[in-house]
Amino acid sequence: MFKVLGILSVVLAGAASAQQAADAVEPEAGGVGAFDGLPAAFTAALAAKDAGKAVLASDWMIAAANPHAVKAGADVLAAGGTAADALVAVQVVLGLVEPQSSGLGGGAFLVWYDAASGEVITLDGRETAPLAATPRLFQDAAGEPLKFFDAVVGGRSVGTPGTPALLAEVHARWGNQPWASLLQAGIDLAEGGFAVSPRLAKLVARDAERLASSDVTAAYFMPDGVGVAAGDTLTNPAYAQTLRAFALDGADVFYGGSIGREIVATVQGVVDNPGVLSEVDMSIYRVKKRAAVCAPYRGHDVCGMGPPSSGAVAVGQILAALEGFDLSAGPQDLDVRRLMGDAARLAFADRGRYLADSDYVPVPVTGLLDPAYMAERAKLLDRETALEEVSAGEPAWDHALLWADDESIELPSTSHISIVDSAGNVASMTTTIENGFGSRLMVGGFLLNNELTDFSFRSHKDGVPIANRIEPGKRPRSSMAPTIVMKDGKPVMAVGSPGGSRIIGYVAQTIVAVLDWGMDVQKAVSVPHAVNRFGTYDLEEDTAAVELTEGLTAMGFEVGARGLTSGLHVIAIRDKLHGGADPRREGIAYGR
Ligand code: GLY
């Protein structure tokens, strides 16, 4: 084993400054919906959430970001479908009713517990960089990084979508219902119309200028030049047509078929910011099965998505650093927040330097989660004030390579789906088109991702390469952290959230809330957020978290209050299933 020695100190400042740039951009809006026309049981689930109560069920359960999507999945489970079948139905409806966050033009990571084998498996349906992409993709003629939204809006940021392939793969592996039947709820809603949710309306209003960059996108979200309003009935015949083609031809219609060709033509055809995605990129796309990355915490195994996501490693590192400390004083205790904040800073320092697509660059996953390494990192927390300086550590690994700190900016959007079926299979899937409304390009009634901006815009710093630089065919580093918590080989919780790089903090806090603070899942997702990503310690505005401002500042943290719109969807598996849905968004947990 080699150790990385002598990393240049000059590169340390970079990740923190990129993080500050991300901090400056407003997060995705929250908002809670009003949903007419749903059966009473679904509005009761919304009411339970409003009352702060977990939803209980005996047989199966779904927690996701929109009641229409939950209903589509629930109908599949009620008909005897598996969690895999339900996942397909939920995703295609989310792509219609919450189109800004995820869909067929994006990518996703699935963590799956297979009841028959007892295995935890992960499937990587992340977008890929086109073969023609170069490390200069997001740089100007002088080699300087483009402004974030100059890179996002248009064809340049679009990676090969992975979600259609992932859905087909999930169904082929674990589904038992006819494929076409799983797309029918999406077709019916797209043709019959659905009520625009308050959150979608708010986001359209806020993004009007960027949505106007594409005629097709503007015509859908802003018919006659006016943004759709909450409660408007919106139909999407183009999406219905896409789903009919997907039902008939499967994922081939994207990867070598007519929809794929339309995606490529749209991306390449943007006049002022074309992309380099090609039909070859579409036809060679593959879902990758990868080993789950599991980390111990309080007698449990916390299992999630390894590279190209940083999710499982960073969540695992935060929990490993906290393991030796007593957190029972709860979320309003200053020392608990000091520990959680600095554990996250340490994890983000490592993430910035080492995490990227491990098919392209060696990533020391084992070294980063090694108990001896984490014990050394945890020792740094044995103090009373904030760490004055935080930098990446030197985990053991078998490649002597030098990486500079990454500079990518991930903004919060995305969606999370948790499902448990009656056979005991568990699905935890986080799904995204990256920024809210992605690249702002629409094809076949769905939005195309801007996932390539999750790469570092710079490829090197001071001559030292950045692990998460753009390379042809590579998958951009993610923060998505779909997680299944195991105890004695059995799943006890599925959890995940949207939120860009804040996902890691949201998921870690929810696990601590359940395992350390003894909260039921609805209380756990409702705990005010305090998130540190190696920059400002973000405290959730208008909540009890801001009461920590003075104390944390006195400890040496830089502190700010802001909206922190997680979208946590959690199912705990106990004597019954307990579901929790984030009160900051429109989702519900529902089961039977
Ligand atoms: N684009 C959000 C993520 O992958 O973390």
Distance from the CA of 419 to the center of ligand 1, in angstroms? 21
Nearest ligand 1 atom to the CA of 435 is 1
The preferred substitution site among 409, 415, 448, 479 for testing ligand 1, maximizing ligand atoms within 8 Å of CB, is: 479
Look over the chain and give the mean of its residue pLDDT values, rounded to a whole number. 92
Single-letter amino acid code for the residue at 362 = P
- pLDDT, one tens digit per residue, over 504-534 is 999 999 999 999 999 999 999 999 999 999 8
281 versus 11: the higher-pLDDT residue is 281
Q: Which of 62, 69, 63 is nearest to 103 (CA)?
A: 69
**CA 411, 23, 515: angle at the middle one, nearest 5?**
75
Helical pair 503-515 and 334-354, crossing angle rounded to 10 deg: 140
Q: Of 5-14, 124-133, 180-189, 578-587, where does mean pLDDT reach its minimum?
A: 5-14
pLDDT at 160 over 60: yes
CA distance 38 to 545: 35
Distance from the CA of 543 to the center of ligand 1, in angstroms? 26
Ligand 1 interacting residues, C-beta cut-off 6 A: 410, 414, 432, 434, 454, 478-480, 500
pLDDT band at 31 (very low <50, low <70, confident <90, very high): low
Which distant-in-sequence residues (6+ apart) come within 8 Å of 240 by Cβ?
186, 187, 190, 191, 445
Residue nearest to atom 4 of ligand 1 (CA): 478
Instruction: Report whether 410 contacts 501 (CB < 8 A).
Output: yes
What percentage of residues in the chain have a pLDDT greater than 90?
87
Distance from the CA of 309 to the center of ligand 1, in angstroms? 8
In 336-410, DSSP assigns E strands to: 396-397
Which distant-in-sequence residues (6+ apart) come within 8 Å of 165 by Cβ?
125, 251, 254, 255, 285, 286, 287
Q: Which of 449, 503, 453 is nearest to 476 (CA)?
A: 453
Catalytic residue among 217, 266, 414, 453: 414
What's the Cα-to-Cα distance from 167 to each of 125, 130, 287, 452, rounded to whole Å?
Answer: 9, 21, 10, 21
β-strands 119-125, 55-57 pairing: unpaired
DSSP codes of every residue in 131-162: TT--TTTTB-TTSPBPPHHHHHSSSTTPPBP-
- pLDDT, one tens digit per residue, over 283-317 is 999 999 999 999 999 999 999 999 999 999 999 99
Residue nearest to atom 3 of ligand 1 (CA): 478
pLDDT at 328 over 50: yes
Q: Cα–chain-centroid distance for residue 23?
A: 17
For 225, which DSSP code?
G
pLDDT of residue 12: 33
Instruction: Report whether 195 contacts 316 (CB < 8 A).
Output: no
CA distance 286 to 256: 12
Nearest ligand 1 atom to the CA of 412 is 2
pLDDT of residue 269: 98
37 versus 462: the higher-pLDDT residue is 462
CA distance 503 to 22: 14
What is the average pLDDT across 389-401? 81
Single-letter amino acid code for the residue at 73 = G
Its pTM stands at 0.94
pLDDT band at 404 (very low <50, low <70, confident <90, very high): confident
Distance from the CA of 311 to the center of ligand 1, in angstroms? 10
Please report, to the nearest 10 degrees, the dihedral formed by the alpha carbons of residues 90, 53, 329, 535 taken in order: 40
pLDDT of residue 410: 57
**Peptide bond connecting 308 to the previous residue in cis, omega within 30 degrees of 0:** yes
Nearest ligand 1 atom to the CA of 413 is 2
Nearest ligand 1 atom to the CA of 477 is 4
Instruction: Report whether 361 contacts 4 (CB < 8 A).
Output: no
Residue corresponding to tokens 């948790």: 418
Instruction: Report whether 334 contacts 552 (CB < 8 A).
Output: yes
Instruction: Report whether 102 contacts 414 (CB < 8 A).
Output: yes
- pLDDT, one tens digit per residue, over 196-239 is 999 999 999 999 999 999 999 999 999 999 999 999 999 999 99
Instruction: Report whether 19 contacts 353 (CB < 8 A).
Output: no
Distance from the CA of 473 to the center of ligand 1, in angstroms? 17
The preferred substitution site among 351, 410, 453, 474 for testing ligand 1, maximizing ligand atoms within 8 Å of CB, is: 410
What is the average pLDDT across 463-483? 96
- pLDDT, one tens digit per residue, over 99-142 is 999 999 999 999 999 999 999 999 999 999 999 999 999 999 99
The preferred substitution site among 128, 157, 305, 434 for testing ligand 1, maximizing ligand atoms within 8 Å of CB, is: 434
Instruction: Report whether 586 contacts 45 (CB < 8 A).
Output: no
Q: Which of 36, 97, 142 is nearest to 447 (CA)?
A: 97
CA distance 376 to 553: 26
Helical pair 503-515 and 311-322, crossing angle rounded to 10 deg: 40
The preferred substitution site among 416, 431, 437, 451 for testing ligand 1, maximizing ligand atoms within 8 Å of CB, is: 451
In 353-463, DSSP assigns E strands to: 396-397, 415-420, 426-432, 442-443, 446-447, 460-461
- 431 catalytic, yes or no? no
Per-residue tokens: 302: 């916390």
Distance from the CA of 13 to the center of ligand 1, in angstroms? 22
Single-letter amino acid code for the residue at 64 = A
Q: Which of 331, 398, 351 is nearest to 544 (CA)?
A: 331
Distance from the CA of 326 to the center of ligand 1, in angstroms? 31
For 448, which DSSP code?
P
Distance from the CA of 249 to the center of ligand 1, in angstroms? 29
